[in-house]
Structure 1
Amino acid sequence: MLSLALFVGIGHLVWDTELYRVLSTPTRLAPSFEYPFGTDTQGRDLLAVSIRGTPLTLRIGLIAGFVSIGLGTVAAFIAAYYRGWVDYGVRSVVDVGLAMPGLLILILVRINIGRELTVDEMGFALGMVGWVFPARTIRAQVLVMREAAYVELSRLSGTSGMGVIFKEMLPNLIPYITASLVGAVAGAILASIGLEAIGLGRFSDPTLGMTIFWNIQFSSIILGMWWWWLPPLVAIVIVFLGLFLISSGLDEWSNPRLRKRV
C-alpha cells in the first residue's frame, strides 16, 4: 500500500496526469521513454490513467467501508444491547439483506437510475448494500460482551445504556471493528471492479475497474497489448495484498493468542 501511495503521490508531481483523457496521445504505443506504460486504443497515456485511477478505486472502497461499518456498528449495538423487539427488527432486516444478492440490487438500481454512477455514488451504494454483513458479526461480539462482569457492574452503578456502550463496550471492540473495516474496504473494491468491468461505472473515470472494462471492449489480449491490461492487474494485486497484511496485523493486535504464536 505504501508503494502505491508513493507511486500516486510522486506521479502527480512529475507526470502530466491530464493525459488520461481520450485522444491525448497517439494510440496503441508500446512502453517507451516518452510513454513508460504505453498508450491504449483510445489515445490515453496509461501511466496517467494508473496515477489517476488507482486513488479513485481506493476512494470507492473507503467510502463503502466507512458507510457499511458505520451503519452496521450502530445497528449491531442497538440490537444486541437493548434486545427485545429492537433486536428482532434489526435481525429480520439483516437476514433479508443477507438473502438478497447485493450486486444484483446494484445492477437494478443502476439500470433504473438511467445514468452513470459517480465514484462517490458507487461507494455509497456499495456501503448501503454491504452494512448487513458487519452488523451480524459485530452483533455477535456485542452479545458476548454484554454479559461481561465489568459491563454488568457499569449498568448496576447507574450508567445509562449509551454510557455503557460508549465508555465500556465500544473501546474494547475498536480492534475488531477496525479489522472489519479493512475487510469491508477490500470487499467493496472487489465489488466495484466487478461492476465497472461489466460497464456499470462512469466511462470517463479511469478507475481500475473501468480500465479492465475498456480492455475487454477493445480486446487488448487478442491485440497483444499486454501493457494495457498488466498495470491494473498489478495494482489490484498490490491493493489486496496490502489490505491482507493490514488485516493480519490488526488480527494480531486484537487477538493476544496470535501475538504469542508469533
Structure 2
Amino acid sequence: MAAIFVQPRQLLRNRPLAFGLGILALICLIAIIGPLLVDPTAARVGATIARQPPSPDHWLGTDGQGRDMVTVLIHAMPNTLTIGVVAGLISLTLGVALGLISGFVGGVVDTIIRVLTDVMMTIPGIAILVLVAANVREMTVGLMAVIVASLSWMVATRTIRAQTLSLRERGYVQVARLNGSSGLKLVFVEVLPNLLPFIAASFVVTVSGAMLATIGLEALGLGPQNQLTLGTTIYWAQFYGAILRGMWWWWGPPIVVISIIFVGLMLTAMGLDSFVNKRLGGHA
C-alpha cells in the first residue's frame, strides 16, 4: 500500500486552505456556542417591537415579526450548516460507494452505474427538488438534507470512479493483486486510503452544492417549517417586502453570513484541490 499521508504543516502552508478552514472553524464555533449565549425567546414572533433599525438594544435591528435579528441569525446558522453537512455526507457516501464499485469492478456493473449516473445528471435537479419539497406535508431539517442528497450524488460518483480507474492500474495495486489480495482488500487497503484527500476535497464541494440548493429552496418558501434557517430568513424578508421598505438589516445580514460560509468553503476546496492535484500527480 502506498497511501497518501497528510501532514498538518503541509496543509497549513497552503494559504487558501488555512484561511478557508479558519473561516469555517469560526462559523462552526459561533453556531455551537452562540445559541448558549443569547435568549432564545428573542427569536420568537412578537418578542419585541417590529421593524426597528439597529440600535444598542438590538445590534442588527428587528424583523417585521418582532424578532431580534442577531438571535435569529445565531439560531438559524446551526440548522443551515446541519442541512449542508448531512446532505454532503449522505451524497458523498453514496457517491464514493458507487464510484469505487463502478471503477474497480468494471464490466456490466460499471456500465449500469455509469448509465444511471449520466441519466440522473441530465434530469433538472432543481425542478425535482421544488416538486418534492412542495408536496411534502411537513418539511424538517433532516428531511430537507435527505431530499437534497438524493439528487447530488452523481458528481461524486463520476469523480471517484475516474480516480479509481486511475489508481487500480498503479504498480502497487498490481503487485498486491499478484500476491493474492482479494477484491475487497484491494479496494479498502490499496485504493481507498489513497483517495482520502480527494474524498475530503469532494466533500467540501458536495457540501457547497447541497447548501446552495437548500438555500435556493428555502428562499422560495419550501424550507423547513417552524425551524429557523438562513434561507427561510431571506424568504420572510422577501415575503414582507423588506427591500421595498428599506429594512436592509433584515435581508442583508443573512446574505453576508451565507457569503462568508461560501467563501470559507470555496477557499477550503481550492486549497484541497491544489494539494490533491500535487499529491496524486506525483504519486507512483
Q: Using structure 1 for the length normalisation, give the TM-score.
A: 0.94
Percentage identity across paired residues of the two chains:
46
1:190-214 per-position Cα deviation (integer Å, ceiling 9, x unaligned): 1100001011112322201101100
Q: Which residue of 1 aligns with 2:56?
A: 33
Matched residues in 2 for 1:106 and 1:30: separation? 36
Contact 1:252-1:259 at 8 Å conserved across structures? no
1:25-62 per-position Cα deviation (integer Å, ceiling 9, x unaligned): 21101111111111111111111110000111111110
Contact 2:144-2:224 at 8 Å conserved across structures? no
Name stretches of at least 5 consecutive residues in structure 2 with no aligned partner. Answer: 1-23
2:95 partner letter: G
1:53-79 per-position Cα deviation (integer Å, ceiling 9, x unaligned): 011111111011001110000001111
Contact 1:252-1:258 at 8 Å conserved across structures? no
Matched residues in 2 for 1:214 and 1:195: separation? 13
1:155-200 per-position Cα deviation (integer Å, ceiling 9, x unaligned): 1111111100010000101111110000000011011000010111
Matched residues in 1 for 2:280 and 2:191: separation? 22
Pick one of 112, 122, 129 that aligns with 2:151.
129
Q: Which residue of 2 aligns with 1:120?
A: 142
1:226 partner letter: W
How far 1:21 moved relative to its partner?
1.6
Note closer, same or farther for the CA distance 1:230–1:247 as it changes in structure 2 (3 Å cut). Answer: same
Q: Which residue of 2 aligns with 1:207?
A: 229
3-state SS in 2 of match to 1:27: coil
Q: Which residue of 1 aligns with 2:171?
A: 149
Pick one of 167, 172, 196 that aligns with 1:174.
196
2:233 partner letter: T
Moved beyond 6 Å, runs of 4+: 257-260
How far 1:4 moved relative to its partner?
2.2
Higher relative contact order (CA 8 A, sep 6+): 2
Name stretches of at least 5 consecutive residues in structure 1 with no aligned partner. Answer: none
1:111-131 per-position Cα deviation (integer Å, ceiling 9, x unaligned): 333x13211111111111111
2:55 partner letter: S
Q: Using structure 2 for the length normalisation, give the TM-score.
A: 0.87
Q: Aligned residue pairs: how many?
A: 259
Q: Which residue of 1 aligns with 2:245?
A: 223
Q: Which residue of 2 aligns with 1:7?
A: 30
Note closer, same or farther for the CA distance 1:141–1:25 as it changes in structure 2 (3 Å cut). Answer: same
Q: Which residue of 2 aligns with 1:93?
A: 116
3-state SS in 2 of match to 1:59: helix
1:73-126 per-position Cα deviation (integer Å, ceiling 9, x unaligned): 00011111111111111011101110101121122222333x132111111111
How far 1:258 moved relative to its partner?
11
Matched residues in 1 for 2:235 and 2:121: separation? 28
Pick one of 23, 33, 39 that aligns with 2:46.
23
3-state SS in 2 of match to 1:222: coil
Matched residues in 2 for 1:124 and 1:213: separation? 21
3-state SS in 2 of match to 1:67: helix
Contact 1:110-1:116 at 8 Å conserved across structures? no
Matched residues in 2 for 1:259 and 1:87: separation? 25
How far 1:238 moved relative to its partner?
0.6
Contact 1:17-1:48 at 8 Å conserved across structures? yes
3-state SS in 2 of match to 1:109: helix
RMSD of Structure 2 on Structure 1 (CA): 1.8
Note closer, same or farther for the CA distance 1:195–1:86 as it changes in structure 2 (3 Å cut). Answer: same
1:240 aligns with 2:262: yes
Matched residues in 2 for 1:8 and 1:134: separation? 27
